[in-house]
């Protein structure tokens, strides 16, 4: 069955405009084409700098990481900047880049949405991501040709079909135990600076659980212990204020409790 892929060739400026000495001059991110927004969660122009947390599984690490997906829409909110912003970005973090500047100018990113069935029965839409760096490989040449031949200006393309190398790695990763969740500090710091009302929509039952578990290092908040059997643990992310009484999925509304 055919799949739908988002292809992106990395640019110099979005990867921090790396200088000759190897230092980045600014933060690192991936621009998202406005013509391919149906791949990602919807963001609204009515909310200034609207954002969402993207759960991403990089196939080269097998972990689940969260990245900020932001609609910078100052253009529609009274910006006095010389060039008001109207663009979508996925911000990179240490977890996605495995603690180093993994992405380089010209690398090609492949992204495909996938519905992940969690061990507790919850489902989560995640984004499978792989990186093609070998310029001489047949896969790089094939994907680069699709990008060059795309009707979308810039370094983007949508592709309906099967990328065999990608799907083979997907099968290998998803046959492994449930992905380890890595919450990067750059994500949590940005969340802490925001107002609670603007955060409520960022989290759902699965991301709430992921953040709570990582926050408590997968140990019970009461006993400091955990009972494990293979990939299963006697832990759950409980709500301090239940959803039925107005509680939110914000991580600060839940301790990790042993069942």
Q: How far apart are CA 247 and CA 239, in angstroms?
A: 7
* pLDDT, tens digit, 9 for 90 and up, residues 47-58: 999 999 999 999
DSSP H or E run through 256: strand 256-258
For the cut 90, the answer to whether the pLDDT of residue 77 exceeds it is: yes
Ranges 7-16, 17-26, 102-111: which has the least confidence: 17-26
Ranges 62-71, 116-125, 157-166, 240-249: which has the least confidence: 116-125
Nearest 10 degrees: Cα torsion 104, 67, 87, 195:
-150
Q: Nearest to residue 225, comparing CAs of 185, 194, 258, 202?
A: 258
CB atoms closer than 10 angstroms to residue 24? 12
User: Which pLDDT belongs to residue 136?
Assistant: 97
- If you average pLDDT over residues 247-254, what whole number do you get? 86
Q: How far apart are CA 207 and CA 198, in angstroms?
A: 16
User: Which pLDDT belongs to residue 246?
Assistant: 81
Q: Looking at per-residue confidence, does 188 or 21 come out higher?
A: 188
For the cut 70, the answer to whether the pLDDT of residue 74 exceeds it is: yes
Q: Nearest to residue 228, comparing CAs of 174, 184, 178, 183?
A: 178
Phi and psi based region of residue 85 (left: phi greater than 0; alpha: psi -120 to 50; beta: remaining): beta
User: Which pLDDT belongs to residue 231?
Assistant: 66
- Following DSSP, what letter does each residue of 86-107 receive, concatenated? -EEEEE--TTTTTTS----TT-
63: Cβ contacts below 8 Å, ≥ 6 apart: 57, 95, 179, 180, 181, 182
* pLDDT, tens digit, 9 for 90 and up, residues 162-215: 999 999 999 999 877 778 888 887 888 777 777 777 777 788 888 888 888 888
Beta-strand relationship, 156-161 and 3-9: antiparallel
CB atoms closer than 10 angstroms to residue 65? 26
* pLDDT, tens digit, 9 for 90 and up, residues 32-49: 999 999 999 999 999 999
CB atoms closer than 10 angstroms to residue 254? 24
Q: Are 51 and 203 in contact (CB under 8 A)?
A: no
Q: Please, what's the b/e burial string for 74-113 (b: 16 or more CB within 10 A of its CB; e: otherwise)?
A: beeeeeeeeeeeeebbbbbbbbbbeeebbbeeebbbbbbe
pTM (2 d.p.) = 0.88
The CA radius of gyration of the chain, in Å to the nearest whole number, is: 19
DSSP H or E run through 117: strand 108-117
Percent of the chain whose pLDDT exceeds 70: 98
Q: How far apart are CA 163 and CA 140, in angstroms?
A: 11
Using pLDDT thresholds of 50, 70 and 90, give the confidence band for residue 11.
very high
Q: Looking at per-residue confidence, does 122 or 239 come out higher?
A: 239
CB atoms closer than 10 angstroms to residue 18? 16
Q: How far is CA 47 from the centre of its chain?
A: 20
Using pLDDT thresholds of 50, 70 and 90, give the confidence band for residue 89.
very high
Supply the mean pLDDT for the chain.
89
User: Which domains are present in the chain?
Assistant: 3-181 (2.40.330.30), 194-258 (no CATH)
- If you average pLDDT over residues 227-242, what whole number do you get? 82
User: Which pLDDT belongs to residue 251?
Assistant: 86
């Amino acid at each position: 069955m055919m799949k739908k892929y988002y292809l992106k060739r990395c640019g110099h400026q979005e990867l921090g405009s790396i200088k000759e000495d190897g230092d980045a001059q600014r933060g690192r991110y991936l621009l998202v084409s406005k013509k391919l927004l149906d791949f990602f969660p919807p963001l609204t122009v009515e909310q200034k700098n609207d954002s969402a947390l993207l759960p991403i599984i990089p196939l080269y690490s097998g972990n689940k990481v969260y990245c900020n997906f932001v609609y910078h829409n100052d253009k529609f909110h009274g910006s006095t900047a010389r060039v008001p912003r109207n663009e979508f970005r996925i911000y990179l973090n240490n977890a996605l880049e495995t603690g180093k500047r993994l992405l380089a100018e010209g690398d090609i990113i492949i992204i495909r949405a996938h519905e992940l069935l969690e061990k507790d029965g919850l489902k989560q839409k995640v984004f499978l991501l792989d990186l093609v760096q070998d310029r001489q490989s047949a896969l790089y040449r094939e994907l680069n040709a699709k990008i060059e031949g795309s009707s979308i200006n810039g370094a983007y393309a949508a592709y309906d079909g099967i990328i065999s190398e990608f799907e083979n790695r997907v099968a290998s990763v998803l046959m492994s135990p449930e992905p380890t969740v890595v919450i990067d500090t750059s994500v949590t710091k940005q969340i802490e600076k925001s107002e609670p009302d603007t955060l409520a929509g960022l989290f759902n039952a699965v991301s709430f659980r992921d953040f709570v578990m990582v926050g408590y290092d997968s140990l019970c908040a009461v006993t400091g212990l955990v009972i494990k059997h293979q990939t299963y643990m006697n832990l759950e992310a409980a709500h301090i204020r239940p959803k039925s009484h107005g509680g939110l999925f914000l991580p600060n509304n839940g301790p990790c409790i042993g069942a």
